[in-house]
A and B are shown apart, each in its own frame.
Chain A
Amino acid sequence: MVSRPTVENAGPLEAIEAYFANGWTDGLPIVPPTEAAVREFVQRAGRDAQEVLLTVSETNRQCTVEAAAINAVMAGCRPEYFPVVVAALEGWADKRWGLGDRNYFYISIASTGGSGQLLIVNGPIRNEISMNYGVNVFGAGNRANATIGRTMRLILLNVLGMTPGVFDMSVQGHPGKYSYCIAENEEESPWEPLHVEKGFAPDESTVTVVGARGPVPVGGSGNLPVGGAESTRPEGVLELFARVAKTARSHAGTMVVAMCPQHAEAIAKHGWTKRQVKEYLFEHTKEPLTDEEWERVAQMGQRRGSSLGADKLVQTVDGVHYRLTFRAPEDVLLVVAGGNNGFFSSVISNWSYWIPEGDYIIKPIKT
């Protein structure tokens, strides 16, 4: 009897090539998932291996704890990262995504709009697993950020069957579809961090999930309104964010504003709170519409139905029709991220991430 090749008895290069041959990768080499490694990850989660964490009915697939663990090993995670993955999967399974219509989770991955799945980690686990929330926060170089984000993509590809060109029909996609995981720079933020804002204790850890397009840059020497105004007037800083947010917006309301510590400090030193920042961006990202645009937006609202809140993205004041970027101030999902070494931030519009206003999908990480 010829024994079946396994990752245990194959050489690592042979195993890696076998995974490529089967299409079980994101295009990069994987770590061969031995049974012992997978078992350790499952134990770390403290969950039953066969517990189903997520079901995607469109592809008729489910993700169990064990399947998630296999992909976490493949992505290069350490076992102590795995609770973040489990909590993020619970976020993906949340019924608020799509305001009760779970099709929207599938659409957020499959749609031509090309979104990735962003994770934002808060709380003590950021430091316990040495995540990067400072310089180059969206970039390469940190194992936890890179491999947790990669795990989520491998789960979409290998477990949930979201094959590019078949089920994932993104016109362009974006680099965050390899890995899209950051942590908030709580240490250099002048404001309460995201999880505390949403009612968690500072010593709790959480992960927030967002169906998200790529980061769109805010700031840089080419688009400062007035050189000195940036640091002397909160409105000067926020006008930059408002301009970019208006062009980056999607059809839905929630947008991540990933503000660098210097931009945040330039605003907060004038006593501005997070709430004030959100209100300013809500008010200053409204655009008057032409009659032709109004007609089209109205048609879109009718087609999508008010249950998804599309009707809240238009507003009529004194006979003038406005298109809104946010449904309400709470749609501004404000976090501080990046290095304290320059004025460079990002806004990230969501895609098919219809959730209740201000009710971000944020899950506790159980370690």
Chain B
Amino acid sequence: MHNATQIEKRGTPAAVICTKPFAQTGAAMAKRQGYSSYRIVLIDHPVSNLSREQVQERARQALPQVLAIALGNGDILEA
């Protein structure tokens, strides 16, 4: 999240992907960086013990949300 907000501040859109237990952490950090409602892509937990195929499934879960942010659809930022 920290990296994403730094990238955003340079004018490049970024998409942050969190597993669901870290949604609050992501939102809190965005707020500390000055973004009151930063949009976060949420995927199922966990990730660290998944097989390659299972990770790809998580990526498929994230993709539409990432594209929506990259294409500027939806309320993404309130700096």
Which chain B residues (1-25) contact chain A, with CB distance < 8 Å? 2, 21-22, 24-25
Asked whether A161 lies within 8 Å of B25 as measured between CB atoms, the reply is: no
Point out the residues of chain A lying under 8 angstroms from B29, CB to CB.
58-59, 167
Q: In the bound complex, how far is the Cα of B31 from the Cα of A163, in angstroms?
A: 14
**Nearest-Cβ distance from residue A77 to partner chain B, whole angstroms:** 28
Q: Are A60 and B33 in contact (CB under 8 A)?
A: yes
Chain B nearest CB from A162 CB (Å) reads 11
Q: Which residues of A contact B28 (CB under 8 A)?
A: 163, 166-167
Q: In the complex the two chains form, is A60's CB within 8 Å of B24's CB?
A: no
Q: Is the CB of A169 within 8 A of B33?
A: no
Q: How many A-B residue pairs have CB under 8 A?
A: 24
Enumerate chain B residues within 8 angstroms of A165, measured Cβ to Cβ.
24
List which A134-171 residues lie within 8 A (CB) of chain B. Answer: 161, 163, 165-167, 169
B16: shortest Cβ distance to chain A, in Å? Answer: 13
Q: Secondary structure at chain B's binding surface: helix, strand, loop or mixed?
A: helix
Q: Is the CB of B32 within 8 A of A166?
A: no
A367 lies within 8 A of chain B by Cβ: no
In the assembled complex, which residues on chain B have CB atoms less than 8 Å from the CB atom of A110?
A: 25
Cα of A110 to Cα of B21 in the assembled complex, Å: 13
Q: Within the complex, which residue of B24, B32, B33 is in contact with A161, where a contact is CB–CB below 8 Å?
A: B32
Does A103 lie within 8 Å of B25, measured CB to CB?
A: no
Q: Bound state CA distance, A167 and B29, in angstroms?
A: 8
Contact A166 B24, beta carbon cutoff 8 Å = yes
Known: A59-B32, A60-B33, A161-B32. A167 touches B2 (CB 8 A): no
Query: Does A127 belong to the interface (CB within 8 Å)?
Result: no
Minimal beta-carbon separation of B39 from chain A (angstroms)? 19
